[in-house]
Amino acid sequence: MQQGVVVIVILRKADIALMVVLTAAAVVGMVFMAGMQVSGGYADVMRHGDTVRRLDLGTDTVYTAEYGEMINILQVSGGAAVMIDANCFGGHCLRQGAIMYNGQTIVCLPNRLVIQVRAAAEPEFDAILH
């Protein structure tokens, strides 16, 4: 026969108030961070740290990056870039999803390829609060 453990939690008004304040602070922080995302203007395709191609995110296109036997196919559509095919081991770059905001990256480590979204122009302000 198994005996269960009974845990009794006693919450005071101050504990509940602290939970409400912390939850509200987390929600405000998430809203603030979502407002700071800047849509990208282009995606840099880099190999060994050097930019080999710059793709405009406003123009739908498919780009094939070939380096020896290493092949990656990148699709730009609807303002976002996504890796649609690669012959790398594991295929982790294919599961990274679409990128569209400044600073987001897709990395194909076996093929030594990095795609990074950059803003069309540096924003005048770091953040705008309403």
CB 108 within 8 A of CB 45: no
Predicted TM-score (pTM) above 0.85: no
Residue 16 lies in a domain: no
The confidence score (pLDDT) of residue 84 equals 95
Residue 29 lies in a domain: no
Residue 33 lies in a domain: no
3-state secondary structure of 29: helix
Residue 127 lies in a domain: no
CB 80 within 8 A of CB 73: no
- Quick: pLDDT tens for 2-53: 677 777 777 788 888 899 999 999 998 888 776 666 667 899 999 988 999 9
Q: Which two tokens stand for residue 65?
A: 């990056």
Q: What CATH number is attached to the domain comprising 68?
A: 2.60.320.10
Domain that holds residue 65: 42-118
> Average model confidence (pLDDT) for the chain?
86
User: Which is nearest to 94 in space by CA: 77, 79, 78, 109?
Assistant: 109
How many domains in the chain?
Answer: 1
Residue 1 lies in a domain: no
CB 114 within 8 A of CB 129: no
As a whole number of angstroms, the distance between CA 121 and CA 28 comes to 27
Residue 61 lies in a domain: yes
